[in-house]
A = this chain, B = another copy of it.
Amino acid sequence: METKFIDEEIKYTGLELAPHWIYRKFHLQGDAMIAFCGECEVKLTEMVDIEDVINNEPIYSKNMLSFIIEHFNIGLVEGVTRQRMLICIIKEVIEQLLTPQSSLLTRKGDDLFIDDKKLSVSIATKSLTSVLIHVGININPEGAPINAIGLDFLKIHDIKGFANNIMLKYSQEINDIILASTKVTGR
């Protein structure tokens, strides 16, 4: 699984969560994960989360760290479980950067919160040949339609290092999970 931090700023609109977007745009083939920063504005018309559409909840953040992942040849339930693992990994990476007294980071499903302020957005969906995952972590959530918080507040400023650490840990975790399935006697 290849990973890459994209240095150029990219506005995330939801259209990027498309099959082979990573391959077409950055030429990483197969299972891949990229990260980039930029404004995030997902209108209801581009939203794959029907719950958000029903609740009329578009997404906005002035500056967000986005991860996009494409896993081929797996089902959506497995893809959602991997998405949740990624959220746990992000939580663990942030916790290692926080001082003990600040650690009020909580996870509810695929969302991260700090003191009831939303730190992240995330969705996983299915294409004909792959599962697609987006996780966005607010850097500066200015303009968000809900009570939000960002990495700026947490004094996490080396976004590229932070992102690369997460991508390394996630790709190792997935490899390790697959390997773990090959070392056990069946019952």
Contact indicator A132/B187 (Cβ below 8 Å): yes
Per-position 1/0 for A75-108, Cβ under 8 A of B: 1111111101100100010000000110100010
A27-B54, A30-B179, A179-B29 given; A186·B77 CB < 8 A: no
Interface residue tally on A, bucketed by range: 35 or more
Taking a contact as CB atoms closer than 8 A, the residue among B48, B110, B183 that contacts A50 in the complex is: B183
Q: How far is the CA of A152 from the CA of B126 in the complex (A)?
A: 43
With a cutoff of 8 Å between Cβ atoms, the chain B residues found around residue A23 in the complex are 50, 54, 182-183
Interface residue stretch chosen among A4-12, A33-41, A143-151, A170-178: A170-178
What's the least CB distance linking A98 to chain B, in Å?
10
Q: How many copies of this chain? A: 6
A84-B177, A127-B128, A177-B84 given; A183·B51 CB < 8 A: yes
Taking a contact as CB atoms closer than 8 A, the residue among B78, B126, B181 that contacts A186 in the complex is: B126
Is residue A72 contacting chain B, with contact meaning CB distance below 8 A?
yes
With a cutoff of 8 Å between Cβ atoms, the chain B residues found around residue A17 in the complex are 187
Q: Which residues of A are in contact with B by a Cβ distance under 8 Å?
A: 17-20, 23-24, 27, 29-31, 47-51, 53-54, 72-73, 75-82, 84-85, 88, 92, 100-101, 103, 107, 109-110, 123-130, 132, 173, 176-187
